[in-house]
Amino acid sequence: MEAFVILVEPKYAGNAGAVARAMKNFGFKNLVLVNPAFSLDEDECRKFAMHAQEIIDNAELLNSFDEALEKVDYMVGTTSIESRDDKHHLRKTFLARDFAKEIYKIDGKVGIAFGREDYGLLNEEIKKCDLLVKIPTSDEYPSLNLSHAVCILLYELFVCKYEPREVLLADGREKEKMYEFFDELLDAINYPEYKKENTRILFRRVIGRAMLSKWEYHTLMGVFKKAIQAAKRNKQ
């Protein structure tokens, strides 16, 4: 799947710049503008693009939505309007997250079309799309800023493939060792017997939720060891 971000008749140069930046943030490079109301060399565009100037430099300018259709194998339209009525199949939409999971199956050029800042995509354009995507929003004000809409969709596409850096977590054996140390500490400080069981469970829950890295585990175990020694010395 090779993605093309297609802005259809955008009005503001700053939005195109902000879109280019978001594309670079999420590792996309193909920007297509259909009949923009500005020049890509405007300061506003360059300023918002920040470190994504090369995406602006390489952006492709087309004259019509039909030209954009010819560029891609599959055209995805974005809309903030979802049909409330099953009969309006014209606007049957996928949610952004479901879309991201499905679209990588396609082997070819996928255009993701974003409409005008005020009117979005026109019905004639929507009709020509293979699939419609909607970003869930509050019903009270569903209209996203253009670059925000692009940003969220590219984020979803990126996250789909993102592999988080692995942090070595403390394993079960280590955690049990820590619970033993905690018990020893309770003994060493003469913690009241009738409170022990509940406090033990509470500690277990806290550590369980905290998902300790190995480094954090070893650091805290050092603290426990010293605390137990100190408490025992005071008992003598």
Residue numbers at the binding site for a copy of itself (CB under 8 A) = 18, 21-22, 24-27, 48, 50-52, 82, 84, 86-87, 89, 92, 95, 97, 135-138, 140-145, 147-148, 151-152, 155, 158-159, 162, 164-165, 167-168, 213-216, 219
Nearer to a copy of itself by C-beta: 66 or 102?
102
DSSP 98: H
Nearer to a copy of itself by C-beta: 141 or 194?
141
The least CB distance from residue 102 to a copy of itself, in Å, is: 9
The least CB distance from residue 88 to a copy of itself, in Å, is: 9
Nearer to a copy of itself by C-beta: 104 or 162?
162
Report the candidate in 62, 52, 54, 48 with the shortest Cα–Cα distance to residue 111: 62
Report the candidate in 71, 56, 55, 158 with the shortest Cα–Cα distance to residue 113: 71
CB 181 within 8 A of CB 187: no
The least CB distance from residue 19 to a copy of itself, in Å, is: 10
**Structure tokens belonging to residue 67:** 């030209």
Report the candidate in 88, 93, 187 with the shortest Cα–Cα distance to residue 137: 93
Residue 217's alpha-carbon distances to 174, 187, 225, 229, in angstroms, are 8, 21, 12, 18
Nearer to a copy of itself by C-beta: 30 or 147?
147
The least CB distance from residue 208 to a copy of itself, in Å, is: 13
The least CB distance from residue 156 to a copy of itself, in Å, is: 9
Nearer to a copy of itself by C-beta: 68 or 157?
157
- HSE toward the beta carbon, residue 197, CA cutoff 13 A: 1
CB 96 within 8 A of CB 153: yes
Report the candidate in 115, 148, 142 with the shortest Cα–Cα distance to residue 48: 148
The least CB distance from residue 67 to a copy of itself, in Å, is: 28
- HSE toward the beta carbon, residue 216, CA cutoff 13 A: 11
Nearer to a copy of itself by C-beta: 80 or 199?
80
